[in-house]
């Protein structure tokens, strides 16, 4: 029953070989050359290979937007929005045929829900008169203010409930821990040289259980030793665990790996659809295009946890790799903010071969520049892995004076903030560059 179709197929293959040898007037390839089988296979793979499409990109952006909408309007590390983002990405990668694993990432988590400070019964303005330090503890306290000087010694706090300390001589965390160990119930910090609003400051991580606030210059004039204050801070400061999503093609040589990555978390202020749902959507579409046939080397895609808090996911991953595994990574391509509405096309200039592959794949010329250490390429570069990437701008000013992304780290970074035509271009460029680098 199958003999006649098989003979017909063999005949068609012979005709195709004759046609390809005569096209263009060149000689037919000899028996020692391997080009003829490749020429026969390539058109078939091109026809069946899924394309990076606007439909697919928008589908992923809408999914991330819905996740944010259901989880307090963000997908920040340590939240239900981030965990739902992990589930969505892992499911889509498995559906596309990739091997997927989840890597735990521990990171410091801080979230301030509310804060109120009163002096002699009059409320102060949060942000303008006082700020809660990052990783402050929570709690309520009322009583007269007493000076603890610089607060760098435990004995400075003897018998004090509400401690007022000056900036200087030791880290904020040391002052706070000294106050806590000595029985103080809160810490208020002033900078005698400050003019204007309170500065932003951090205690460096969890461990401080008492409220710690910084005063602006106007509030510092009002809150002096003897003044009665009332302070209430509702905050969470602890260590939490999220996950990186790491996926790899099933086909391809394992001797050499080409990687690309995008951070999966948003800031708490907004849903993060350009920063960095754009990079995530591009990788998911690249996964569809690259899954069926790996072009030589294996391709590995990563969706990073905790980038907005300090590159926790990518740093955890690079540290986990033994030296031989790091040496197998021939290239890492970073996609972070690639659909900015007032964009400039920029290509990382760290590794010329990667930069050239990305520039060739873009439909319009790109600016090449060093990207510093502000995104997930940095741990790879420090480990000696060649890095590259695409970027279309954040808070930098364009020639028209407007920011490249006016919604950078703001609630308005929604699906409507993404320049979809640009995202399609950058997603296709990233996919083609990955294919070229892996060949």
Mind telling me the catalytic residues?
307
Please list, in sequence order, all residues whose beta carbon lies within 8 angstroms of the beta carbon of residue 25, skipping any fewer than 6 positions away. none
Q: Which residues pair with 237 in a beta bridge?
A: 110
Of 128, 139, 105, which is closest to residue 237 (Cα–Cα)? Answer: 139
What per-residue string of b and e applies to 189-216 under the rule 16 or more CB within 10 Å gives b?
Answer: bbbeeeeebbeebebbbbbbebbbbbbb
Cα–Cα distance for residue pair 294/384, rounded to 1 Å: 25
* SS3 of residue 373 by DSSP: coil
How would you classify the pairing of strands 130-132 and 212-215?
antiparallel
Biggest CA–CA distance in the chain, Å, is 102
The DSSP call for residue 266 is B
Cα–Cα distance for residue pair 139/133, rounded to 1 Å: 14
The DSSP call for residue 55 is H
The DSSP call for residue 276 is I
H/E run at residue 256: strand 253-263
Residue with tokens 């991953």: 317
Q: In the numeric block, which tokens belong to residue 110?
A: 């801080």
């Amino acid at each position: 029953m199958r003999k006649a179709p098989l003979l017909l197929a063999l005949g068609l293959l012979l005709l195709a070989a004759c046609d390809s040898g005569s096209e263009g007037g060149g000689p037919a390839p000899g028996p020692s050359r391997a080009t003829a089988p490749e020429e026969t296979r390539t058109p078939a793979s091109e026809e069946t290979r899924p394309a990076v499409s606007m439909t697919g990109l928008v589908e992923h952006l809408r999914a991330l937007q819905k996740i944010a909408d259901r989880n307090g309007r963000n997908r920040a590390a340590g939240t239900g929005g981030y965990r739902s983002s992990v589930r969505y990405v892992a499911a889509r990668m498995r559906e596309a045929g990739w091997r997927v694993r989840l890597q735990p990432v521990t990171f410091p988590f801080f979230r301030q829900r509310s804060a109120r400070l009163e002096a002699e019964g009059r409320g102060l303005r949060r942000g303008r008169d006082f700020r809660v330090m990052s990783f402050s503890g929570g709690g309520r306290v009322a009583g007269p203010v007493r000076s603890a000087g610089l607060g760098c010694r435990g004995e400075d706090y003897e018998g004090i409930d509400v401690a007022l300390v000056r900036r200087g001589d030791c880290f904020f965390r040391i002052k706070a821990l000294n106050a806590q160990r000595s029985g103080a119930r809160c810490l208020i910090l002033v900078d005698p040289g400050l003019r204007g609003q309170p500065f932003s400051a951090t205690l460096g991580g969890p461990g401080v259980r008492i409220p710690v606030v910084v005063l602006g210059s106007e509030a510092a004039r009002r809150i002096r030793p003897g003044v009665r204050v009332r302070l209430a801070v509702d905050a969470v400061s602890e260590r939490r665990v999220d996950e990186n999503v790491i996926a790899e093609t099933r086909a391809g040589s394992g001797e050499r790996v080409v990687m690309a990555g995008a951070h999966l978390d948003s800031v708490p202020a907004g849903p993060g659809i350009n920063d960095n749902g754009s990079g995530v959507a591009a990788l998911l579409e690249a996964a569809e295009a690259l899954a069926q046939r790996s072009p030589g080397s294996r391709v590995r895609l990563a969706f990073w946890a905790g980038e907005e808090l300090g590159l926790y996911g990518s740093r955890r991953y690079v540290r986990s790799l033994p030296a031989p595994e790091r040496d197998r990574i021939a290239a890492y391509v970073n996609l972070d903010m690639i659909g900015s509405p007032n964009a400039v096309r920029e290509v990382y200039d760290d590794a010329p071969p990667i930069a050239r592959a990305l520039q060739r794949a873009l439909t319009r010329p790109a600016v090449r520049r060093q990207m510093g250490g502000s995104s997930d390429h940095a741990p790879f570069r420090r480990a000696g892995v060649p890095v590259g990437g695409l970027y279309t701008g954040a808070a930098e000013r364009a020639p028209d004076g407007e920011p490249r992304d006016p919604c950078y780290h703001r609630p308005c970074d929604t699906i409507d903030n993404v320049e979809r035509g640009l995202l399609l271009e950058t997603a296709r460029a990233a996919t083609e560059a990955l294919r070229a680098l892996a060949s």
